[in-house]
């Protein structure tokens, strides 16, 4: 069951209707059973795996309370071993086995490939990180263990964010499930509005960019010009942004319908003025997770407990640099068991390392000059980073990057002219949308009538386009992670 389908919209309608009718305890059972139903629509045989991860961390957290540090460390190790062990088996075993055999064969071992038929469970990367964060937060004594299993299970399995996030913190969400919200029309209005935004971004924009990206990346790299590489880098950057932010909008809106508030997951990342700023704006729940549960502990820096602020970077000390590169390698592999994803992570680590060196020398510049200069440099670099993320191989990514650096590769165009025009128009629309939302709307917020009419018109146009384009053809990109 995917968000851009009538099946999901029907399930959501039934859950929201029953939620506001039923008493408190029945509401929790409704959410839990609806979440299992949602996941079971994909493959019901993987439900026990989801429940195992949920039960293990609930049990571990219960037995941590009031115990010695050494005992809590043992329980934490049990949790990490089981969760990361399952994640490794289903997501990485084939990758590491194939590479180990290939490496051995380089030295004449002549080993046959291992045939493994392992299906990657939907959303395992997301709910594994979520349950791990709960156990670690209890270990750190940031939160108390939740005694009510169904309440805790709602936090882990809540269907709007189960398969592609946002990655939630227990301290931000569990208390919201525990509250007995009274019905408010504001929940319905804001929730439906966010869902409509998400469906519009997915079915009208992202799904119509996808064929252009697929066509471009299916070209021979010999036929690509440097202009083609830049265009494809930007096009895929736009596609994955609209696709994943669409999912986040729908997840946030679906939760809001029952009075649950999720932290935001995107904040106009393509207007970022630095790599640090970009990762404060892109996939905020993941980048802040990596910050608090991996990077800061490795760097020996005090840990926060908020899925806000993105991936902050400590000073450029030796141990911080090691933590930076290790975090980004893991961040890359989290997205997929392929060398291209690791290459994507290392690229970001290199860019951030360079930024650490350059940034102190720009502090005397005017704030506006720094922001504009940062945008001009940051945006192309972030788009170039998407090349290995989307490429079929490291070799393909290296050839495409080489085109960008080759002055002779700017002498022809390999794609249809409308592809370049569409890319430019999309970028222009992002700039206009950011300007209107962040600069203009706050100035006219008191003119309620004009603002309401504009809202009605824009929402009506989006709804019409969603109805026209709504087809459960393309899954969300982050479903594969």
- Predicted confidence (pLDDT) per residue in 213-250, tens digit: 999 999 999 999 999 999 999 999 999 999 999 999 99
Structure token pair of residue 307: 């899925």
Q: Inform me whether the pLDDT recorded for 344 exceeds 60.
A: yes
Q: Inform me whether the pLDDT recorded for 392 exceeds 70.
A: yes
Structure token pair of residue 397: 């990514």
**Phi/psi at 339 (5° precision):** -65, -25
Residue 440 DSSP one-character state:
I
Alpha-carbon torsion 143, 145, 151, 157, what sign?
A: positive
Known catalytic residue at 283:
no
Q: Percent of the chain scored above 90 by pLDDT?
A: 59
pTM of the model: 0.90
Evaluate whether 128 touches 86 at the Cβ level (below 8 Å): yes
Q: Inform me whether the pLDDT recorded for 380 exceeds 70.
A: yes
- CA dist 445 and 438 (Å) reads 11
Residues in the chain: 481
Cα-based distances in Å from 131 to 164, 170, 233, 350, 379: 14, 9, 34, 31, 34
Q: How confident is the model at residue 450 (pLDDT cuts 50, 70, 90)?
A: very low
- Greater confidence (193 vs 455) lies with 193
Residue 34 DSSP one-character state:
H
- Greater confidence (24 vs 366) lies with 24
Q: Supply the pLDDT for residue 314.
A: 53
Q: Could you report the per-residue pLDDT of 73-130, keeping only the tens digit for each?
A: 999 999 999 999 999 999 999 888 888 888 787 777 777 777 778 888 988 999 999 9
- CA dist 344 and 329 (Å) reads 8
Residue 52 DSSP one-character state:
H
Average pLDDT, the chain: 87
Active site residue: 283, 335, 348, 448, which one? Answer: 335
Evaluate whether 464 touches 235 at the Cβ level (below 8 Å): no
Short-list 426, 410, 118, CA closest to 270: 426
Q: Could you report the per-residue pLDDT of 352-362, keeping only the tens digit for each?
A: 999 888 877 77
**Angle between helix 149-157 and helix 170-178 axes, rounded to 10 deg:** 120
Q: Supply the pLDDT for residue 448.
A: 47
Query: Which residues neighbour 370 within 8 Å (Cβ) at sequence distance 6 or greater?
Result: 273, 362
Evaluate whether 335 touches 124 at the Cβ level (below 8 Å): no
Q: How many CB atoms lie within 10 A of CB 435?
A: 12
Evaluate whether 332 touches 343 at the Cβ level (below 8 Å): yes
Report the range of poorest mean pLDDT among 20-24, 39-43, 46-50, 451-455: 451-455
Q: Supply the pLDDT for residue 449.
A: 45
């Amino acid at each position: 069951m995917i968000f851009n389908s009538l099946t999901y919209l029907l399930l959501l309608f039934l859950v929201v209707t029953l939620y506001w009718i039923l008493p408190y305890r029945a509401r929790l059972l409704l959410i839990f059973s609806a979440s299992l139903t949602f996941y079971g629509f994909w493959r019901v045989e993987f439900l026990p795996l989801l429940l195992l991860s949920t039960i293990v961390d609930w049990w571990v957290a219960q037995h941590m309370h009031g115990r010695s540090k050494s005992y809590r460390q043992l329980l934490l190790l049990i949790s990490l071993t089981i969760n990361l062990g399952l994640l490794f088996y289903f997501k990485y075993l084939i990758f590491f086995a194939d590479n180990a055999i290939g490496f051995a064969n380089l030295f004449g071992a002549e080993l046959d490939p291992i045939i493994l038929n392992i299906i990657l469970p939907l959303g395992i990367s997301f709910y594994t990180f979520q349950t791990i964060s709960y156990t670690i937060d209890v270990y750190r004594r940031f939160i108390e263990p939740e005694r009510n299993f169904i309440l805790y299970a709602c936090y882990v399995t809540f269907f709007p964010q189960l398969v592609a996030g946002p990655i939630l913190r227990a301290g931000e969400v569990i208390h919201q499930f525990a509250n007995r919200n009274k019905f408010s029309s504001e929940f319905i209005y804001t929730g439906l509005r966010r869902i409509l935004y998400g469906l519009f971004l997915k079915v009208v924009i992202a799904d119509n960019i996808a064929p252009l990206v697929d066509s471009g990346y299916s070209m021979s790299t010999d036929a690509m010009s440097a202009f083609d590489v830049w265009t494809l880098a930007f096009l895929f950057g736009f596609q994955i942004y609209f696709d994943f932010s669409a999912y986040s909008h729908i997840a946030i809106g679906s939760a809001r319908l029952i009075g649950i508030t999720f932290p935001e997951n995107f904040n106009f990342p393509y207007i970022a003025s630095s790599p640090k700023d970009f990762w404060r704006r892109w996939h905020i729940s993941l980048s802040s997770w990596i910050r608090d549960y991996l990077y800061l502990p490795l760097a020996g820096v005090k840990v926060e407990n908020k899925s806000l602020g993105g991936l902050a970077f400590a000073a450029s000390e030796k141990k911080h640099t090691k933590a930076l590169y290790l975090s980004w390698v893991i961040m890359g592999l989290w997205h997929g068991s392929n060398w291209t994803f690791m290459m994507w992570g290392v690229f970001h680590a290199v860019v951030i390392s360079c930024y650490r060196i350059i940034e102190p020398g720009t502090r005397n510049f005017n704030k506006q000059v720094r922001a504009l200069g940062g945008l001009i440099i940051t945006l192309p670099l972030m788009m170039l980073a998407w090349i290995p993320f989307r490429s079929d191989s490291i070799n393909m990514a290296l050839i495409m990057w080489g085109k960008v650096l080759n002055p002779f590769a700017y002498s022809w165009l390999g794609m249809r002219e409308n592809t370049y025009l569409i890319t430019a128009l999309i970028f222009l629309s992002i700039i206009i949308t950011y300007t209107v939302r962040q600069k203009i709307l706050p100035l006219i917020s008191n003119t309620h009538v004009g603002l309401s009419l504009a809202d009605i018109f824009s929402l009506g146009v989006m709804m019409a386009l969603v109805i026209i384009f709504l087809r459960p053809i393309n899954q969300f990109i982050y479903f594969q992670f």
